Structure formats: structure tokens, C-alpha cells
Amino acid sequence: MDRAAAVARTFGLEPRDRVGNTFVADNQLPELRKRMAYEYKSRFATALVFGLPAIALHRFGPLLAGGGPGHYAWLIELLLAGWTCIAAGWPILYQGALCARYLRVHGDLLTTVVVVFAYVPSAIGVLSIMWSGEPWLIGDQGPAFDAAVWVVIVATLQRWLAHCNADRLAGRAAMMLTGVGRFIVAWLIFVVIVMFVIDSHAGLMVAMLLPSMISHGAISRWSPGWLSVFPIVTFAIVLVAGPGALNVPLDQVRFEIAVGFALMTTGAMVAGWRRFPGMAQ
């Protein structure tokens, strides 16, 4: 990088970083880690500020609409969920699009697929009310905007925590899971099968169970022991206790169950990362 900077200066150019400061190769990496952690912390906060109201509208929209179908609440939910995906999840969605374009499977592709399959058909269905009077592509459970919002919230949280622990993860690539790309492809195929056999909401729930940071999650002194057992046990607890605690049918809390499982898996990953000392120690 120093050589490239020297060549640039011969042409009167001064390399600068993403915020316009003069690039310093010797100490740029620690500063970049801090900035990336701050960026995804801000994006996670944005996802909460705009995403949680969208989820509330999804749950209480018919009540706010006076017991009707809640179509007006759906329109507001469409805007809130769309802004959440763009403002909070744009870097993830952009990387997912690049993965699809260049046929490179990565965790961002998994997140992007879930967001697109949850948001786009729901948006088409809600907008179709304007000219048809009835929503297209929307079943009895309503639009799946909440799935897109939940995925963005969890994905930005995972990336924020990953950048906060970047110094602990550095130099441990040998401990990552191998063949993650093939596993993600197999998982997506399984999701499609579930969509055809059961319904789209069930397929989205299954897709949300696989953490997009699974390769980082393998970096732990507990792997493949307790770290592998923990998600299975916790998911069983959520699956059994979740619907009973909320007193609603299972098919109405599919996304909440998946999100609870994803958050517990995230907690297990971060706990594993913190078992390692930072590079500065």
C-alpha cells in the first residue's frame, strides 16, 4: 500500500480514506475496525428505530384500522420496512447482490434472499390493492414485511458485534467452518422445498434460522462441542415455550421463534469470540 501511495503522489494525488482523511497505511486497520463497528452500530440503531414500529403495525394493524383488514396499516408498514431495509441493510444487500452476480455464495447472499423474498411479494400484494381492491400474493397471514425487518435487525446486530470483536477474530481463519458456501446453497434449496410443501412463511422461518455469520460462529474454543449443542437446546425451548407463553397458534409466531433462535445463536457466537484474547493483549 505504501508503494501504491508513492506512485500516486508522483502524479500529484493524495490517497484518502472513506471519510476524506489522508490515508496512513501503518495504522489504518485499527481505525477501520473502529469505524466499521460504529457504522454497524448506527445501522442497528436505525433498524430498531424504523423496524420496530413496522413490526408493531404488523401485529396491531387490524386493531388500529378499526377491526378491518388493515390495508392502510399495511401501506405504512411497507414504507417503514422498506426504509429499514435500505437505510440499515444497504451494505448487506449490496454485497448479496454482488454475490448473486458473480456466483459467490456468502452469508450476505442468505440475508439478501430472505429480505427480497419477504419484502418484494408483500409490496406487490399491498400495492395491488390500489387497482384491484384485493391484495395479490398475500395469504391469510398477511404480508411478510416483519420477516424482512427482523432479518435486517439481526444481520446488522451480528455485524456490529463481529466488528467489535475483530481483533479477537483476526488470525483465526483456520478455525472457521469450511464449505460454508455449499452449506448455504443446500439450506436455500431446503427453504424452497419447505415453501412449496408448507407455505412461504414457513420457508422464510427456516431461512432465518441459519445465522448469516455462521462462518465466524465456528471460531470458538467450544466448537464443535457445546457451541453446536447450545442452539439446538435453546431452539427446542423456544419452540415449546414460545407459543404457550404468547397464547397464540404456532403459525402466528413463526418469525418470532426464528428471531429468538437467531439471537440466542448470536449470543453463543459472541460468547465464543470473547474466550479469545484480543490482539493487543
Residue 173 belongs to a domain: yes
Look at the chain and report how many structural domains it folds into: 1
Residue 8 belongs to a domain: no
Q: Residue 171: enclosing H or E segment and its boundaries?
A: none
Residue 190 belongs to a domain: yes
Q: pLDDT tens track of the chain, all 281 residues?
A: 556 556 555 555 555 544 455 555 555 667 777 888 899 999 999 999 999 999 988 877 666 655 555 567 788 889 999 999 999 999 999 989 998 888 888 888 889 999 999 999 888 888 887 777 676 667 666 788 889 999 999 999 989 988 888 777 777 666 666 777 888 888 889 888 888 887 788 788 888 877 777 776 666 555 554 555 566 666 666 655 655 554 545 555 668 878 888 887 788 778 777 777 665 44
The three-point CA angle 240-253-73 to 5° equals: 165
Residue 20 belongs to a domain: no
pLDDT at 100: 87
The Cα 279–Cα 100 span in angstroms is: 34
Q: Which domain holds residue 76?
A: 28-273
Cα–chain center distance at 88: 10
Q: Which of 212, 81, 91 minimizes the C-alpha distance to 149?
A: 81
Residue 281 belongs to a domain: no
Residue 125 belongs to a domain: yes
Asked whether the CA dihedral 261, 263, 265, 267 is positive or negative, the reply is negative
Residue 54 belongs to a domain: yes
CB of 147 closer than 8 Å to CB of 51: no
Residue 90 belongs to a domain: yes
The Cα 75–Cα 85 span in angstroms is: 15
